[in-house]
Amino acid sequence: MALTLQKQTVNIALDQGCTFEKVITAQNSVSQNVTISTGTCAAKMRQSYYSSNNITTITTAVAGSNCTISLTATQTAALSPGNYVYDVEYTQSGGTIVERLAEGIITISAEATK
Beta partners for residue 62, in sequence order: 67
User: Tens digit of pLDDT for each residue in 45-81?
Assistant: 999 988 888 888 899 999 999 999 999 999 999 999 9
Q: Which fold has domain 8-109?
A: Immunoglobulin-like (2.60.40)
DSSP code per residue over 8-52: EE--EEEETTS-EEEEEE-BBTTS-B---TTSEEEEEEESSTT--
User: Looking at residues 82-89, what average pLDDT do you find?
Assistant: 96
pLDDT at 1: 54
- b vs e for 77-93, b when ≥16 Cβ sit within 10 Å of the residue's Cβ? eebeeeebbbbbbbebe
Q: Where are the domains of the chain?
A: 8-109
pLDDT of residue 93 exceeding 70: yes
* Ordered DSSP codes for 85-96: EEEEEEE-TTSS
Nearest one of 32, 21, 37, 43 to 101, comparing CA atoms: 43
pLDDT in tens, 10-58: 999 999 999 999 999 999 989 899 999 889 999 999 999 888 888 888 9
